[in-house]
Amino acid sequence: MAKALTFRRRYRQELQAYAFLWPALLILGLLMVYPLLQVIRMSFYEVSLQKETWVGLDNYAQLLKTSLFWQVLWQTMLFTAGSVILHLVIGLGLALLLHARINARVRNFMRGLLIIPWLLAPTVAGMIWVLMLAPFGVVNGLLASLGILDSSATINWLGSPETSLLSVTAMNVWRAFPFFMVMLLAGLQAIPDELYEAADIDGTTPLAKFWYITLPGLRGVITTVVLLDSIWTFRAFDPVYVMTGGGPINSSEVLATAIYFDAFQKLKFGYASAEATVMFLILFAVSAVYVRRAVREIG
């Protein structure tokens, strides 16, 4: 009795905390941790719907030998790097414009309008771009009107291997830049005005102010959003699946769609699990950097 009491007293905080935490931990444990272990396990098997056969590292060996896997990995990196860099450039540009001394109402209104692309489902955004990029679509039409393109030699943006990945990247840049814009605007608003006022007294040029005050002030936010966006883009499935299905001839395939097709069309669950495990390891390495930063910030 007395012992039970001291136990309860000693671990009071723990007992109370886990009384509130257990539903969340149970759900995430069952639906995140268990499936993850399951995928890693399956990557050592040959899996069909009826049975599983142990094959050791065969799936991985096959994966590393397949040149398509390396091609897809490279394309995923291009897609990610292109998206993240342009998100940062466009997001920062618009954030700076919105942060300039303009009317607060105009600022909120413009910010609201500019967030709209980010509200659209990737499937919806993808479909709008499929429409715009069609051979007789508005993008070719615009290029023809401007005289850049001969109207008889239209570009099949999504249908040719040279431009398919570029087109998907363009759509993804457009859909997700508002996230950067909003985050960087919040970051800009957090930089104290006194720093700029002091620089004005010293007669600093705008470029120097940007370089020595604005950029250092945004460093934390930029690192956070770049890491997050890299992870999100690297694992993205919808844009490619909706716009090109990975084609033509795999020219726009990324890891997420390749895993999906290997698993659910070719029914190579074991091989797809090996691919997914490799993808997880790559993401985990990037996430580790982010998680360390985030936990330090939360304290």
Partner 1 sequence: MRARRRGAHLAIYAILVAATIIMLFPVAWMLTVSVRPNVEVMKIPPDWIPALFTLEAYNKVLRSGRYLRTFANTYFVALAVTLVSLFIGAMAAYALARFRFKGQRAVLMFLITTQMFPLVLLCIPYFQVVVKLGLYDTLTSLIIVYVTFTLPFCILMLRSYFAQIPKDMEEAAMVDGCSRVGAILRTLLPLSYPALIGAGLYTFLLAWNEFLFAVVLIEAWEKRVITMAIYSLMAEFVTDWSMMMAFSVLASAPLVIAFIFLQRYMVRGMTAGAITA
Amino acid (one-letter) located at 166: L
CB-nearer residue toward partner 1: 56 or 112? 112
Query: What does the alpha-carbon distance between residue 79 and residue 87 come to, in Å, rounded to a whole number?
Result: 12
CB-nearer residue toward partner 1: 1 or 202? 202
Residue 47 bridge partners (DSSP):
52
Residue 54 bridge partners (DSSP):
45
Mask for 236-275, x = binds partner 1 (CB under 8 A)? -xx--xx------------xx--xx--xx----x--xx--
Query: What does the alpha-carbon distance between residue 9 and residue 1 come to, in Å, rounded to a whole number?
Result: 12
53 binds partner 1 (CB under 8 A): no
Query: What does the alpha-carbon distance between residue 46 and residue 61 come to, in Å, rounded to a whole number?
Result: 13
120 binds partner 1 (CB under 8 A): yes
CB-nearer residue toward partner 1: 4 or 49? 49
CB-nearer residue toward partner 1: 196 or 280? 280
Name which of residues 175 to 234 contact partner 1 (CB under 8 A): 177, 179, 182-183, 186, 221, 224-225, 228, 231, 234
Q: Would you state the structure tokens that stand for residue 146, as one six-digit string? A: 């401007």
- The H or E element containing residue 45 is strand 45-47
Find the part of the chain contacting partner 1 (CB under 8 A) among 93-101, 159-167, 192-200, 209-217. Answer: 93-101
Query: What does the alpha-carbon distance between residue 271 and residue 254 come to, in Å, rounded to a whole number?
Result: 16
Find the part of the chain contacting partner 1 (CB under 8 A) among 16-24, 59-67, 77-85, 210-218. Answer: 16-24
276 binds partner 1 (CB under 8 A): yes
Whether the link from the prior residue into 248 is cis, omega within 30° of 0, is yes
